[in-house]
Structure 1
Amino acid sequence: MDIPRILLGLLFLVSGIDGLLLVFTGTNYINPPTSPAGLAFEHALKVSGFFWPLMKSINLIGAVMLLSNRAPALGVALLLPIITVIIGFHIALNPGGMPVAVVLAVVTGMLLIAYRDRYAALLR
């Protein structure tokens, strides 16, 4: 499961770094095409004052856990709520980003299956 772990880790590492650069410098370097409704949602997250930096910090922590292969199941668990929102975001607000959502869902599903023994105690 190295390829899905590294792919998910790199995706969230880049996202986390770009998001925190926005917080500290005011500049976003990655600007994927987003619908007007999607931009409004993203703007609301940013102007909340706390949620954007929190989310991007969790992105970085989860990414480092995945890329370093230190507690990767915990890294996926930390990222799972964010992944769920990203997938919902693309379904409801930004259908043009569905290819990203599908890749994210497939890679996450592969890792959830690979680490299912580590999540077993949570599901009892």
Structure 2
Amino acid sequence: MTRVLLVHLPRTLLGLLFLVSAADGFWFFATGEHLIHPPTSPAGLAFEQGLQASGFLWPLLKIVNLLGGLSLLLNVVPAFGLALLAPVMTVIALFHLVLNPGGIPIAAVMVLCGVVLVHAYRDRYAALFR
């Protein structure tokens, strides 16, 4: 039961969050509209539009979201999926802290799930710090 709460639940939540983000991003490519777009501040919208206007960063971000989210959801090399998503989670957390405070609650859940999973997979990351 403890393993379910400390690994499976945060892994599934984080995987779903990033899978939905990827689906929304790919839908945006196809239609120019978002499936899900929570309220965003003007500064947050400008940042997002800049990523989209780059022509390469937005698609790259959505591919990383898809790969990391699937890795976590399917429990296939989840420590690698989490490592892929760690920089993205950092940017998302800072985005909400600095540009879009309305999203801090979801960013906090994301960071909490990530920290719990880093702790759960710490043995897989040990070689990186030797």
State the 1:26 CA deviation.
Answer: 1.4
* Structure 2 equivalent of residue 32 of structure 1: 38
Give percent identity, aligned residues only: 58
Tell me, which stretches of 5 or more residues in structure 2 are unaligned? Answer: 1-6
Matched, 1:45 2:51: yes
* Structure 2 equivalent of residue 85 of structure 1: 91
Tell me, which stretches of 5 or more residues in structure 1 are unaligned? Answer: none
Q: Secondary structure at the match of 1:23?
A: helix
* Structure 2 equivalent of residue 76 of structure 1: 82
Which stretches of structure 1, 4 residues or more, deviate above 6 A after TM superposition?
A: none
State the 1:96 CA deviation.
Answer: 1.1
- Matching residue's letter, 1:18: D
* Structure 1 equivalent of residue 3 of structure 2: none
State the 1:123 CA deviation.
Answer: 1.2
- Matching residue's letter, 1:111: L
- Matching residue's letter, 1:40: A
* Structure 2 equivalent of residue 117 of structure 1: 123
Once residues 79 and 56 of structure 2 are traced to their aligned partners in structure 1, the CA distance between those partners, rounded to angstroms, is 26
Q: Secondary structure at the match of 1:14?
A: helix
- Matching residue's letter, 1:45: L
Matched, 1:105 2:100: no
TM-score normalized with structure 1 length:
0.98
Once residues 91 and 123 of structure 1 are traced to their aligned partners in structure 2, the CA distance between those partners, rounded to angstroms, is 28
Once residues 76 and 102 of structure 2 are traced to their aligned partners in structure 1, the CA distance between those partners, rounded to angstroms, is 34
State the 1:24 CA deviation.
Answer: 2.0
Once residues 112 and 30 of structure 2 are traced to their aligned partners in structure 1, the CA distance between those partners, rounded to angstroms, is 32
Structure 1 counterpart of 2:62, from 56, 60, 75: 56
